[in-house]
Amino acid sequence: MEHTSLSKETACNVITCWAAVAWTTNAPLPMEIIEVDPPKAGEVRIKIISSGICGTDNHILEEKNKVPLPAILGHEGAGIVESIGHGVTTVKPGDKVLVLPLPECRKCIYCLHPRGNVCEKENVLSPTGLMLDGTSRFTCKGKKIYHLYGTSTFTEYTVVDEISLAKIADDAPMDKVCVISCEVPTGFGAVFNTAQVTAGSTCLVLGLGGIGCAIVIACKASGASRIIGVDINEQKFPRARALGATECLNPNKLKKPVHEVVMEMTGIGVDFAFEAIGLIETMVTALKTCHVSYGVCVIMGVAPSDSQLSFDPMVLLPGRTLKSSIMGDYKTRDTIPKLVTDYMLKKINIDSLITHTLPFKKINEGFEVLRKGNCIRCVLLF
């Protein structure tokens, strides 16, 4: 038998449950009854307990980033293992887990490289929306529904490959730790791993949403003496200031372009600039705002599908560095459980990154408050 499990009532059976199905873009997500197949070999079925709404989910719904549809979105989730497929060894039913939008197979050349974190098993640049065996575990109204980045958390139950899961501590607070699936490692890793921000440095953070605010926290923890935050939505400023931003700018209220204003404010440009919006114009702004000789620009924002980044190469020639990373350069399965433990030991604070919680069925309200409100991260509770 291919499927083995300890959860006797539901294991081996198709589960019928509620999910928010993205049939199309630029429309609210309808709640639908879906069927979730049992996990096949190497797969795990999870009952989702909480899920964050990430800017990337919003980009997909606003059609900026293309993925196969209809799909169940959401990639930042905490849950409990309901059943496991044949050969799964690292988790068992009842375990608390985080889903990982970037898997770690620990066998491919990327995973075995000391710095590699983009496992070759997941095609991050062109997502298939399917499990590793090339099929889907979701159906709705007789139609196949795609997965998202091997995760899909806007559903009461999901199925993921074992390599896209991290077992976390049994006493982890499940209403909070979902943001350690994506928001926290992306922002913290951008600062600690990708940029390696130094004490006393000046940092610029473009975009003060979930990722930008996680970057602000990590810049402060690294000892940055000046952290300039930029956002067109001033409702984001109070939280960013509370987390460590020393100044906040609204580009729409400036008489000059942001890079000129920051050059004047600093005299020489910033040591580190982070783009956490996902627009090519602000990526170029981040690059031009760095110190001409030793400035480091890190792009975290996901640019619209098929867009092209263009700038005068002389901007780089004197020595500026342009970098980028996914999930903060962390090896996900190895590091994310440690971030959960660090949080539980109060070594890192993630509570201030969660500004809103809503019941799962109010997911569309969550997207609204992310788009227009003072939301840093909205966590859906199931």
Residue nearest to ligand PAD (CB): 209
Contact call for residue 329 and ligand PAD (CB under 6 A)? no
Compute the residue count for the chain.
Answer: 382
Contact call for residue 56 and Zn ion (CB under 5 A)? yes
CA distances (Å), origin 221, targets 82, 299, 338: 38, 20, 17
Token pair of 222, please? 């690294």
Q: Out of 300, 339, 340, 363, name the contact with ligand PAD by CB under 6 A.
A: 300
Q: Out of 38, 207, 244, 295, name the contact with ligand PAD by CB under 6 A.
A: 207
CB of residue 273 vs ligand PAD: minimum separation in angstroms?
13
Q: Which does 278 bind (CB under 5 to 8 A by kind): Zn ion, ligand PAD, none?
A: ligand PAD
Given strand 321-324, what is the order of strands in its sheet?
247-249, 226-230, 202-206, 272-275, 296-299, 321-324
- Window of 80-88, 107-115, 197-205, 299-307 that interacts with ligand PAD by CB under 6 A: 299-307
Q: In 33-77, where does DSSP find H-type helix?
A: 55-61
Of 137 and 236, which has the nearer Cβ to ligand PAD? 236
Q: Interface mask (CB under 6 A) for ligand PAD, residues 343-362, using x and -? A: --------------------
CB of residue 372 vs ligand PAD: minimum separation in angstroms?
9
Q: Out of 229, 278, 295, 366, name the contact with ligand PAD by CB under 6 A.
A: 278
Q: Which does 155 bind (CB under 5 to 8 A by kind): ligand PAD, Zn ion, none?
A: none
CA distances (Å), origin 259, targets 224, 291, 317, 376: 19, 11, 18, 24
CB of residue 124 vs Zn ion: minimum separation in angstroms?
12
- Window of 54-62, 235-243, 244-252, 358-366 that interacts with Zn ion by CB under 5 A: 54-62
Of 43 and 104, which has the nearer Cβ to ligand PAD? 104
- Conformational region of residue 148, where left means phi above 0, alpha means psi within -120 to 50, and beta covers everything else: beta
Give the Cα separation of 327 and 45 in Å (integer): 23
CA distances (Å), origin 89, targets 4, 37, 43, 46, 95: 11, 20, 10, 15, 12
CB of residue 186 vs ligand PAD: minimum separation in angstroms?
4
Q: Which residues are registered as beta bridge partners of 229? A: 205, 248
CA dihedral 97, 101, 106, 107 (to 10 degrees): 140
Give the Cα separation of 152 and 134 in Å (integer): 15
Give the Cα separation of 48 and 51 in Å (integer): 8
Q: Interface mask (CB under 5 A) for Zn ion, residues 347-366, using x and -? A: --------------------
- Window of 6-14, 48-56, 314-322, 350-358 that interacts with ligand PAD by CB under 6 A: 48-56
Contact call for residue 208 and ligand PAD (CB under 6 A)? yes
Q: In 234-289, where does DSSP find H-type helix?
A: 237-243, 258-266, 280-289
Contact call for residue 230 and Zn ion (CB under 5 A)? no
The DSSP letter of residue 303 is: P
Residues that bind ligand PAD (CB under 6 A): 54-56, 58-59, 182, 186, 206-212, 230-233, 236, 251, 276-279, 282, 300-302, 326-327, 370
Residues that bind Zn ion (CB under 5 A): 54, 56, 182
